[in-house]
Homo-oligomer: A and B are copies of this chain.
Amino acid sequence: MTVGGDTVTEVVRLSWKDVRDRVHGRVLDGTYAPGDRLPRDEDLAEEFGCARSTVQRAMQDLSLSGIVERRRKGGTRVRRDPVTRATLDIPITRNEVENRGAVYGYRLIGLTTEAVPPPVTAKFEMAGSEEMLRVRALHLADGHPFVFEDRWVSLRTVPEILEIDLAAQSANEWLVRNKPYTRCDLRFYAMNADAETAAILETGEGAALMVIERTTWIGLDPITSVKAVTAPGYEILTRS
């Protein structure tokens, strides 16, 4: 490009993502080795010819994804023991089924009001026990069992749940649409199907099943705790 006789080099403006990737590249190629301290943001900014705020955004992102650690005054250093950090999305079960191109089905199995047993009070981190709504239901994909959920819903926090026809609409959908939470604990493990679960999921006793337990709160108040037992072959994938 030429303006008034002078050659004007195109000014390439670095985005914070460019800075992030270039710094990440240096971690990848060993320029900055695990445990090493990186130059301060200001120096990197000068080197890259951008503002410190741009470097700051880049480094924060690297810090979030577990590549580096940052401490005020301590500076930034490459994490010595990198962790694999992944983001998981757990959709509403209906959407999960429909995204697979299957027809969603739902069957209410049991609806009772019971005193919460100790394993569940423990999940809620509650001091004592109380009466909650227990909803047992089956989600189906193309008519086949997909997920069996055994759920407890706090009647103190969510009394409106009693107004809902849980034979027509799953508690999963109603809660997730109407009761956003501020805290969510997840737990994944494998279990062998017991006789009852095997019967419900139409599989053999002893089959290896993946279980997803999810407990949610709004503030300090418990909303719900579900044990979702998935049918054989279920798998969880990290997104992108």
Chain A residues close to B by CB (< 8 Å): 24, 27-28, 34, 66-67, 80-92, 95, 176-177, 180, 182, 184-192, 206-210, 214, 218, 232-238
Contact = CB atoms under 8 A, between A and B. Distances in A.
14 contacts: A28-B182, A67-B180, A80-B177, A81-B176, A82-B92, A82-B180, A83-B91, A86-B184, A188-B188, A189-B233, A190-B190, A190-B191, A192-B207, A207-B208
Given A86-B87, A91-B83, A186 B28 contact: no
Contacts of A236: 187-189
A124 to B, nearest CB: 15
A89 to B, nearest CB: 5
B87 A218 contact: no
B82 A176 contact: yes
Contacts of A238: 88, 184-187
A67 B184 CA distance: 14
A84 B90 contact: yes
**Which 9 interchain pairs have the tightest Cβ spacing?**
A190-B190, A208-B208, A189-B235, A84-B90, A190-B208, A186-B238, A190-B210, A188-B236, A192-B208
B81 A95 contact: yes
A187 to B, nearest CB: 5
Contact of A208 (B86, B209, B235): B209
B218 A188 contact: no
A83 B89 contact: yes
B214 A190 contact: no
A237 B27 CA distance: 28
